[in-house]
Structure formats: structure tokens, C-alpha cells
A = this chain, B = another copy of it.
């Protein structure tokens, strides 16, 4: 496993892999790995010849009041966690090289970027799209792996790849959860013991929604109201709970076939997201 810091050397090696006809699998991350990240790497290991993992806490996807500075970083820990997984290259570019003085170029996926999390994190998805496109140009992967936990991110990246004719296949892997159901996230480290216990309510809320749909209810407003009431006692604030169309992220009045229930809530000073795909089996 090699650790690279320079864009030029990463690009050089990627070109060499290409010349050798190797299939490159790529897992872009912000580091501070958990099992969710590892599941993406393991899938890449299965699918491809060379697995590249990037670690870069991307400043331009954080708002001015967000947690860029305190986002957990621990390269040593991360390298140790992946050393037996079969990662070929860990790419950790420097901020000054990714965004040198005079940097001016940004990629946007209109409309999708404004929905769900976009309403609360203006500029976030522009930052995500821009860094992912940069990383794609540097790593030149054949397949790139994203987690379903960031459902909106995955949908936006897929749209960007399709729209810009980027020759990369996107694979979205299932949410990995703690034993009590909490979706794994590097931000879970922000939670104190009480908050961590309370946080399980999100998963239980999603399960409640699933049960409601299973019982034949397909009215989104009703389901959302029930989930809201159910989770409110344990959380500090709701940014949103929505049931949306999986492609365009627009609210669904009724779950005809399937809908994405996505939520973002605060527990103390920590913002958590989670989601579930609700399937109305009568109509599938």
C-alpha cells in the first residue's frame, strides 16, 4: 500500500495503470474511516485490479459555520484500519494543491443541489461535485464507490457523471449500521454518551416508516408526521424529514411504488442524516 500526497504523482500512476490495462476502483473519502468506508473498499477490491482511496477533508463543501475545522482527522489510524483490506494507494492531497491561489472553477447540478440537505447547506453539493470531478480527473477510475447514507450526494454525483459524460461507473453501496441501527458516520464521534444513545431513534423512526408502508399506508404527510412525533423527544432540532422521488428528489404525496425517506436532524450540536427506501410492495 502506497501513500501519495502529490496530485502529479497520483495522476502519473493512474496513467500507468491505464496503460497496463488495469481496472481502477476508487473510493473518495474524508477519512476517519468506519465500516461504511471499508465496505466500499472491499467492494472495490472485489471488482477491480487497483484500489485507490482518497482522504481529503474538502474545505469547499463546508459552510462558514460548519464543522470543517473540527472534522475528525487521523491519518495514522486510517492507514492502520485499511492495511489488510488490499488497498493499493491511499491518496491524501494537500489543500494548497487542490485549491491553489486563483482557483475559480466550480461544478453544479442545478435543482438537485437545492433540495433536502441543499436547503440547509448552500454551496455544499457544489463543493462535493467539484472535488469529486477533480478527483476523478486525477485518479481516472473506471468505477467509483459511494455510500447510500449520503443518498442525495450519490444521486447528484450520478447525475453529474451522466450529464458530463464522465467515463466512470458509479456504484452506490448500502448503509452500514452499528449494532443498534445507527448509521455509521465519522460525525458520530461528536456525540456524547447520552446523545449516542438517543441517536438510535433515527433508525427506529425509519423502521416505523417501513412498518407503516408495510401495513398499507402510503400517504407521505401521515408517515412523516408519525416519524416526526416518534423521534422528536430524543432530538434537538429537525432540519427536514421528507419522502421524495429517488431520481429528482421532489416530494412525493403518495408512495406509489417507492420513495426515499430522508432526514437530517440535530442531536445537541451534531447534525446527523439517515434515509431508507420505502417500497409499496402492492405496486412493485
In this assembly, does A189 line the interface, its C-beta being within 8 Å of a C-beta of chain B? no
- In the complex, A167 Cα to B109 Cα: how many Å? 22
* Residues of B close to A102: CB separation below 8 A: 159, 248
Does A164 lie within 8 Å of B105, measured CB to CB? Answer: yes
Does B108 lie within 8 Å of A159, measured CB to CB? Answer: no
Interface residues of A in 153-198 (CB under 8 A from B): 159-160, 163-167
Copies in the complex: 2
- In the complex, A163 Cα to B138 Cα: how many Å? 11
Which among A11-19, A26-34, A234-242, A264-272 touches the partner chain? A11-19
B107, B108, B138, B164: the one contacting A137 at CB < 8 Å is B164
Name the residue in A108, A109, A110, A129 with the highest tally of chain B Cβ atoms < 10 Å from its Cβ: A108
Given A11-B165, A18-B18, A138-B165, are A111 and B104 also a contact pair (CB < 8 Å)? Answer: yes
B18, B103, B159: the one contacting A104 at CB < 8 Å is B159
In this assembly, does A40 line the interface, its C-beta being within 8 Å of a C-beta of chain B? no
